[in-house]
Structure 1
């Protein structure tokens, strides 16, 4: 199909066929749909913006660029202007938002996590402002492999090993990652060719290889060793993530069927203790995880989950043990008249005679 774009926009740059085909394969938007690119200005997101620009032009999809300014580095103001320069070159609307990062702790990883949360909140605000529901993210095969590796080192289960999903929903938005099967080397090659053709160069974020951050340590310390000893390890771990997601889908299906036998209330906030005890131990654990996720309560650590299971298995058959009240983040789990229920943690302030399990999470 002829490219309808003015050649002056791309300076003679030829898009990478595999990167463009990945968009064709993983995205199904049609004429009139509105989509945004989360654009930091780095090579990955910039190349996603350029290739999505070509892809959207051919399909008459409305495309916006979203840039989140975290305010964490002095050079960030220049990055914002640099992103807008690319948007002007491609004649695409670009929307920037400065966010306030609230670090969870003084550690580098705490700051990284807080910045990620602020970024998603900012993207949600921009999406609401523009009036769209779809955002593309530039995560690629190397990112996915690093995520699997980090979660292995944290001792995560099948859910965690699924790493980043090609599609996810958060804050009523649909996020798409069409390049999870694309190696970063291919993206960097496209970035270099684009820079040669247009003189627009992607920005370099020094935190990406800062070993103070977990992901930076993986890139700086582990990746060179893995590349030398096991070439192509990224594709193997990306495949592992895909298999883990497929396995988790089967487990979720089993847990959903088990949940239907637990005589839950209409809101799904409580279930029958005696019915739950009819399940095999492994399925008891699995359905508890399923229940917590349905209630947006998050997953506890393995040790914390084991303690909850121990208490539920040991409580009186009718659930009359008034000492069983288990704190999980902003939630409480307890047994009342033979039913296991979840409720807001502020009920701890009521003088109802219950004793909270204050074990650290």
Structure 2
């Protein structure tokens, strides 16, 4: 159930603590991130957990909003996974009242039985809650507090999981989901800068960020990286975060180029008007890496999940072995809720009939 609290009348004069001007570095990065949008938003929200990162983003967003006449909201998601979760919600609303910003909170149920783990389930629940709160508040842009350390850890985790080159772009500074634009303006900011501001604000105001014990619980994958690997990396390769963040930026540029190549290649395959089929003969003229790119791009355009590397290679082997003139009815492979087939020289995606098995 969503809860929304506005500042009480007695808090109207509170605002940011006198003497706290914020970090010029953090404000500049925040302003640059917002300036990168196609159109300046009239309202913004901050995803506010109550930890140091999101609290300082909320505080600097309040300073930015006051200077640029932008309507600001705070969104807090109560996952119910920690005994202190109720206190964290109240603590977040306390900060919002100090800053004279409306705060909206929503309690969610995390499906702990999901096959992809607790972290993924909590993240999915969080984005669903953000979408609901955004509709309630009439907001289309939400700020997230991921920083350079988070980005470096994401690249490292994806490397360890065997992610391909495109996945190594890691977190994007902007992305859309559920018709909402999410911004991560601090991906190039060191966390030390954020923590220094949290300490200063705490001295001036008496308000201190919450500490989530799960961030140090190595039963969780990201926490295991943070607790076990990061200290060794810090000791032996102090610049590893900056290096991995640079790698992510270069990978993002590479991904953009590859997407442009794949789009051009697919357009040259006599693509059907509805995008559901293309010419097998034309596809075969591409080099093998570009064949794979074109297939992935085609599936993405049709809203299909990406296949595993092994499955994709198997499809490519079958497509290269077909008779291009149409003696190819044996090419019929299941992908999710659809079939990939080849009929009369056209590779196509067709919906599976109810009860139809591969």
Q: Normalising to structure 2: TM-score of the pair? A: 0.91
Alignment correspondent of 1:86: 95
Q: CA deviation at 1:40?
A: 0.8
- Inter-CA distance 134–320: structure 2 relative to 1 (3 Å threshold): farther
Q: 8 Å contact 2:45–2:72 — kept in the other structure?
A: yes
Structure 1 residues 315 and 103: CA distance shift in structure 2, 3 A:
farther
Correspondence 1:320-339 to 2 at 5 A:
320-339=327-346
Instruction: Output one character per residue of 1:11-39: Cα deviation in whole Å (capped at 9) or x when no partner.
Output: 42231111111012221278771111111
Q: 1:182 aligns with which of 176, 189, 194?
A: 189
Partner of 2:303: 296
224 and 331 in structure 1: CA distance in 2 versus 1, 3 angstrom threshold: farther
Please give the alpha-carbon distance, in whole angstroms, between the structure 2 residues aligned to 1:315 and 1:210.
52
1:228 is aligned, of 227, 235, 249, to 235
1:149 matched residue in structure 2: 156
In the alignment, structure 1 residue 43 sits paired with structure 2 residue 52: yes
Query: Which structure 2 segments of 5+ residues have no match?
Result: 1-11
Deviations 1:39-89 (A, max 9, x none): 111111110000011011100111111111112222111111111111111
Q: 1:7 Cα shift?
A: 7.0
Count of matched residue positions in the alignment of Structure 1 and Structure 2 = 345
Give the whole-Å Cα distance in 2 for the aligned partners of 1:307 and 1:104: 32
Give the Cα–Cα distance (whole angstroms) in 2 for the partners of residues 337 and 45 of structure 1.
56
Separation in 1, partners of 2:300, 2:190: 32
Question: Shift of the alpha carbon at 1:104?
Answer: 5.1
Q: Which of 250, 254, 259 is residue 257 of structure 2 equivalent to?
A: 250
2-side partners of 1:276 and 1:57: how far apart?
A: 55
Aligned partner of residue 235 in structure 1, secondary structure: helix
User: In structure 2, how many angstroms separate the alpha carbons of the residues matched to 1:280 and 1:9?
Assistant: 59
What is the alpha-carbon root mean square deviation over aligned residues?
2.0
Q: How does 1:260-299 map to 2 (within 5 A)?
A: 260-299=267-306
Query: Aligned pair in 2 of structure 1 residues 6, 243: CA closer, same or farther (>3 Å)?
Result: farther
Farther-moved stretch of structure 1 (204-213 vs 167-176): 204-213
Tell me which residue corresponds to 1:359.
none
| 1:116 and 2:112 correspond | no
Cα–Cα, structure 1 residues 31 and 287, in superposed 2: closer, same or farther, change >3 Å?
A: closer
C-alpha distance after superposition, 1:211-261 (max 9, x if no partner) = 111111110000000000011211111010000000111111111110111
Bigger RCO of structures 1 and 2 (CA < 8 A, at least 6 apart): 2
TM-score between both structures, scaled by the size of structure 1: 0.90
Decide whether the 8 Å contact of 2:47 with 2:74 is kept in 1: yes
Gap regions ≥5 residues in structure 1? 357-361
Q: 1:72 aligns with which of 70, 73, 81?
A: 81
CA deviations over 1:288-347 (Å, ceiling 9, x no partner): 111122222232221222112112212232454333332333343222332222234x42
